Chain A
């Protein structure tokens, strides 16, 4: 038992070191040779927000208070999930030369991509802070719930990435399909439209969209300054955990034959 424990501890230490070196590699490569570098992680969500709020406030005229803030919150969070699942999905295929030659824990690769995107998300929070300052909104103490939300969403994104990475090894078509799915999913999530514009039955349907819960949670703690209820915490945690567990099980089941297919 103790042998197994120290075995696991050693493995964990090693895997987390690999993960850090991979994240730092991604970070270096992402910003290498760009003039503004990391600043893009802040600028990008800001520019997106400006563009989207120009478009939507002119064409749709939703009655949403602090619309740009509403928008950037939904957008950055959705971006985090969309990017981490997209890169996570490709992680095993991209790591093919490695997997074929070195004996490593394959779960590292999708997880590393999610953590890297989590880092980008954390940087993009600076953009959110700038918008808060611009609109002179002082967040309440409820903003302290943010790490909790990040945990929920990270669990969720990791689970999805595990499953997608495993399936993508067997069917490359998934890579193209997922882009479309994410697009539809983005429109089905209240990122730039208000939830009360939906008819009643759709308000029930949208409860099944995990991103709806995460985005609402995010706005609650940052924009509206509400304390998220125990119920919404449980829902977000439950969705995160269930997705993580399912994704990881799929990944573990399929990973043995990865090497024959990558």
Chain B
């Protein structure tokens, strides 16, 4: 605990005046999101397009005291019968899992942030909260900008459909307009290198090929924030390199904020500039990528 408090000092602390302003903004954003937290990142274009409040620091993502509690019992109850049995046995809401506890993280625009930690430490939960898929039990998460989530590539693909149809389907789910997809269709296809399989049902694709299409769709826009979660491990070596180049391009040319999760520490060190190490839901360390990775490696 003391360690995590210590490391919190690394995070940028806003001044008190900024703090109040920021909390107002937080409320604003939360109420905006509360109508539908899951509306979509693109919806925020409207906000991002408007002149940005001067009081708003150059943060892409602000995470404040985020706590995430999963109810283990309620996750398994799928039917009324189970529910009644558990109720009678008084086992209901028995165990709680604290997936994240008191996470504070401010990510500035253009930051390339790695997230490291062992399996089950809460990395993906954190990414889901940032992507707006999960709502934190406590605390707030404010995101300024368009997010391209690459959490498990290919969500929203219907494998019965052909690649061509899936590009439109997935594109629409990511918030692209029809005209945008039409304009960029060739780019997507050539990036994924799959001209000849375009009209084949995707169930006949290998998982690597599915990942190619998904990556191509997700990165065809220039997102403000790119979330990459273990996605590069699926493709072959050459495609992995290609993806890395594309991410590097976004970082260098477009100042895209990148959140990067990978079990390959080398990859994190290569791509990221800063990093956070999470262990069992607690922040262990935030700081320069080399320091964090070094400490993380030595902790094993």
Listed in ascending order, the chain A residues whose CB lies under 8 Å from chain B are 3, 6-7, 10-11, 13-14, 17-18, 20-22, 25, 28-29, 32, 97-107, 171-173, 255-256, 259-261
Contacts and interface: CB of A to CB of B under 8 A. Distances in A.
A13 B43 CA distance: 10
Nearest to B147: A103
Nearest to B201: A32
Given A100-B133, A102-B174, A105-B36, 17 more contacts: A3-B46, A7-B32, A14-B42, A18-B172, A20-B172, A21-B173, A32-B160, A97-B156, A98-B173, A101-B152, A102-B40, A103-B39, A104-B173, A105-B38, A173-B79, A173-B81, A260-B71
A101 B156 contact: yes
Contacts of B80: 171, 173
Nearest to B49: A6
A151 B1 CA distance: 59
Contact of B132 (A20, A97, A103, A260): A103
Contacts of A99: 38, 133
A21 B172 contact: yes
6 contacts: A3-B47, A11-B43, A14-B42, A99-B133, A102-B155, A259-B133
A166 B151 CA distance: 25
B165 A103 contact: no
Nearest to A18: B172
Contacts of A28: 161, 165
B40 A104 contact: yes
B64 to A, nearest CB: 19
For chain B, give the interface size range. 35 or more
Q: By CB atoms of chain B within 10 A, which of A10, A22, A29, A256 has the most? A: A10
A84 to B, nearest CB: 20
A97 B152 CA distance: 10
Interface of B: 32, 36-43, 45-47, 50, 70-71, 74-75, 78-81, 83, 128, 131-135, 147, 149, 151-152, 155-156, 158, 160-161, 165, 168-169, 172-175, 177-178
Nearest to B83: A171
Contacts of A173: 79-81
Contacts of B175: 14
Nearest to A11: B43
Contact of A104 (B38, B74, B81, B147): B38
A29 B74 contact: no
Contact of B46 (A6, A29, A103): A6
Given A28-B165, A104-B40, A97 B155 contact: yes
Q: Say what secondary structure dominates the interface of chain B.
A: mixed
A14 B43 contact: yes
A172 B169 contact: no
Contacts of B132: 103
Contacts of A106: 36, 38
B158 A29 contact: yes
Given A101-B133, A104-B40, A17 B178 contact: yes
A29 B174 CA distance: 21
A106 B160 CA distance: 22
Given A3-B46, A10-B43, A25 B152 contact: no
Contact of A7 (B43, B158, B165, B174): B43
Contacts of B147: 103
Given A11-B43, A260-B74, A102 B173 contact: yes
B36 A25 contact: no
A101 B169 contact: no
